[in-house]
Structures are given as C-alpha cells and as structure tokens.
C-alpha cells in the first residue's frame, strides 16, 4: 500500500530523469517515523533506495516547511566535514506529489530515540558518542557559510532579539491560561540579552535523536538530520538547547531520549560545555541565558501541543500531561535564571 503523500506513478518518470542511479523501474515507498513535522519516505526501485522529504499534508505555511532551504543547507554542507546525507535532486513541480520535495541518499545507521536505546550503549560507546555529538556541533558552527554558498541563508544581525520577540508572540497566540512564571522568564531574558559572538549556521534542533550513528560504530555520527529549523544566527542557541535535552535525573524529560547526562559514560553537562568551548573557540560566558531561552522556547512549543489537545485536535495518547510539562519548564527556567552567575538573569 502506497503511503499518503507520494504518487509513485508520477514520481517514477521523474526519478528516472533526475535521480542518479534510478533505472525507471517501478517504485515502492515507506513512510519513516521521526521528524517533527516534515514527512520522510524511503523510495526504492528494487535496486536502489533513496530518501524523499516533503512538507506535511494539507495546508502549511511555506516559510515553515521550506524544502528548498533544507536542500540548500544540505548541499552547502556536503563539501564540509559536517556529516550530512548527499542531496541528489530537488523537485519543485507541485503536480508530482502536491508539494515541493527533495531526494537524498539513504544513509545506513541507527537513531537512538528512547532512553532504553541510549542506556544499551556501553560506557565506552556512550562517551565516544557524546564526544562526537559535541565535536560535530562545534564543526558545524565553524563552517564558513559564505564559502559554501549560504551567505544569504539568514539574517544574523539582531538574531537573538528577533528570536525572543517571535517566541513571545507565539506564546500569546497559543497560551491556554495565564502562566506568570513564563512571563517572568520572558522579562528576564529581555533584560539579560547578551551580545552575540560570530554568527554561524544554526541547526535549530540539535540533539542526539536528530543524528544517525554509524551502524558499526555508535561513537561516529554518520549523518545529522532534520534541518528544517536551520538558519544563520547565534550558534550558542544550539548549545543551550542541547544542554536542556541532555538533562540529568534532576531535570524534566521533555523527550524520551532526554536525560543522557546521567547514563554511564556520557559526558556531564559541564564536560559538554568545556569540550564545546575548546573545540569551537567560542566564549560560553553567557551560556545560562541560552539554556533559559531554550527552556522558554520548549515551553511554548509544548503549550501549542497542549492547546491542540484541549481543542480535541490530537490523535493518540500522552497529551494529557502537556500542560503540566509547560508549567514545569517555566519553573525550571526561572530556577536556572535565579541561580545563574549572570547578574542580569537574576533580576
């Protein structure tokens, strides 16, 4: 059965003329689980397999699911030491599957999505995995984006202030009740806005389960995936978010794979920061700001899910506690701000 979102009869001839290695043989497709919103399929012809990415089904905001942006950043990074899948073709003919899409190579490997999968690593593998995760992020942030043709990929000037304002508007649009703790977090972030260092390519959602580890070596990242939130901006926003996902037993687990910080072998949060600073050469003086900002953004994202749940527009289980998670994230963000060495965050 062909999954919704692809039309194999229309795609067949297009693959034959646009994708290297395609023979024109009948195609088959499988929807891959994972990815926050854009849809990912394995497309094969019996001899080769490829991966196709397209926007969600139905009406979407073009700027939020811009396939050409994903294609561009992957194409630009293909010549660097950041591991990404090779992109093969871009399809902008909406008559094929109803939306723009791109095709890339299928990378073989493993994605650790749950805490049990993470805990199955040996301490030696866990350390190598976590070191590689930090090192790849530092390499990404060191890429000369002008040299790889991405100089117009974003607007890094004023990035933090714009980011904060945009998420504040998102909160006002999605909130289901008043949450004074989150409002206080927003106030402190506005007060403590630090100067940004040199801009770089920002992944936007960098975490363990958005990478694919080599099948034969969990200490090597075979590909960084899910670039739909990438842009040019302040690289420390990626570090702050990674630290929130990293977590430990004292922190709220927003995602199933969060909390690796207390899994035997994984780097501690302090070790992550020290290693990133060493390999990137960037100052981490104001890193608490970026951690609080990441918690603030996650709280607003989860509130959007909570709003859809309360309107009866979610499918499946596990949504009833979303409102509680939002409140907990707000309180944790406030605790980090209050305990920070950054005086501006404490007042």
Specify whether 80 is located in the same domain as 120.
Answer: no
131 part of a folded domain: yes
Question: Exposed, middle or buried, 319 (CB in 10 Å: 0-12/13-18/19+)?
Answer: middle
Query: Closest by alpha carbon to 96, among 64, 61, 74, 67?
Result: 67
96 and 124 together in one domain: no
Mean residue pLDDT across the chain: 91
Residues 240 and 191 in one domain: yes
Structural domain span for residue 251: 115-346
Same-domain check for residues 90 and 187: no
Task: For residue 299, give both structure tokens.
Answer: 């709280």
Radius of gyration over alpha carbons of the chain, in Å?
Answer: 21
Specify the pLDDT at position 315: 66
Give the chain's domain count.
2
For the cut 50, the answer to whether the pLDDT of residue 161 exceeds it is yes
Same-domain check for residues 190 and 41? no
Cβ–Cβ contacts within 10 Å for residue 163, how many? 18
Q: Are residues 122 and 68 in the same domain?
A: no
- Assess whether pLDDT exceeds 90 at residue 318: no
pLDDT surpassing 60 at residue 194: yes
Judge whether 260 lies within some domain. Answer: yes
Assess whether 266 and 135 both reside in one domain.
Answer: yes
CATH code, 86:
3.30.200.20
CATH of the domain at 228: 3.90.1200.10
| Residue bearing the bigger pLDDT, 314 or 205 | 205
pLDDT of residue 306 exceeding 60: yes
Which residue from 132, 129, 150 is spatially nearest to 77, judged by alpha carbons? 150
Say if residue 241 is in the same domain as residue 164.
yes
Give the number of C-alpha atoms closer than 13 A to the C-alpha of residue 330, restricted to the C-beta side. 23
pLDDT above 90: residue 73: yes
> Phi, psi (5° rounding) for residue 201?
-75, 120
Chain centroid offset of residue 95 CA:
29
267 shares a domain with 125: yes
Which band of pLDDT confidence, cut at 50, 70 and 90, is reported for residue 84?
Answer: very high
For residues 89 and 155, membership in a common domain is answered with: no
Per-residue pLDDT of 249-279, as tens digits, reads 556 555 544 578 888 999 999 999 999 999 9
Q: CB-side exposure of 186: number of CA atoms within 13 Å?
A: 19
Residue 217 burial (CB count, 10 A): 15
The one-character DSSP state at 316 is: S
Residues 97, 120 within the same domain: no
């Amino acid at each position: 059965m062909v999954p919704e979102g692809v039309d194999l009869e229309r795609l067949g001839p297009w693959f034959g003329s646009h994708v290297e290695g395609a023979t024109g043989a009948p195609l088959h497709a499988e929807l891959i689980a994972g990815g926050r919103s854009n849809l990912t399929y394995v497309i094969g012809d019996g001899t080769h397999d490829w991966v196709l990415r397209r926007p969600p089904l139905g009406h979407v905001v073009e700027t939020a699911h811009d396939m050409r942006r994903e294609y561009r950043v992957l194409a630009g990074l293909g010549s660097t030491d950041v591991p990404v899948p090779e992109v093969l073709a871009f399809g902008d003919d909406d008559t094929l599957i109803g939306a723009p899409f791109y095709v890339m190579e299928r990378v073989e490997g493993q994605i650790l999505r749950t805490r049990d999968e993470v805990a199955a690593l040996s301490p030696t593998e866990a350390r190598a995995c976590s070191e590689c995760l930090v090192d790849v992020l530092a390499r990404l942030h060191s890429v000369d984006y002008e040299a790889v043709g991405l100089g117009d990929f974003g607007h890094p000037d004023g990035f933090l202030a714009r980011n904060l304002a945009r998420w504040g508007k998102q909160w006002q649009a999605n909130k289901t009740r008043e949450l004074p703790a989150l409002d206080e977090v927003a106030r402190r972030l506005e007060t403590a806005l630090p100067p940004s260092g040199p801009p770089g390519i920002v992944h936007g959602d960098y975490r363990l389960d958005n990478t694919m580890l080599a099948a034969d070596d969990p200490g090597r990242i075979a590909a960084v995936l899910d670039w739909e939130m990438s842009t040019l901006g302040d690289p420390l926003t990626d570090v702050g978010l990674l630290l929130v996902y990293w977590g430990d037993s004292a922190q709220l687990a927003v995602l199933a794979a969060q909390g690796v910080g207390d899994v035997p072998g994984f780097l501690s949060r302090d070790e992550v920061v020290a290693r990133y600073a060493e390999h990137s050469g960037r100052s981490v003086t104001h890193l608490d700001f970026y951690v609080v900002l990441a918690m603030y953004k996650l709280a607003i994202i989860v509130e959007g899910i909570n709003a859809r749940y309360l309107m009866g527009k979610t499918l499946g289980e596990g949504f009833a506690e979303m409102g509680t998670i939002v409140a907990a994230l707000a309180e944790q963000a406030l605790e980090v701000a209050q305990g920070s060495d950054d005086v501006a965050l404490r007042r």
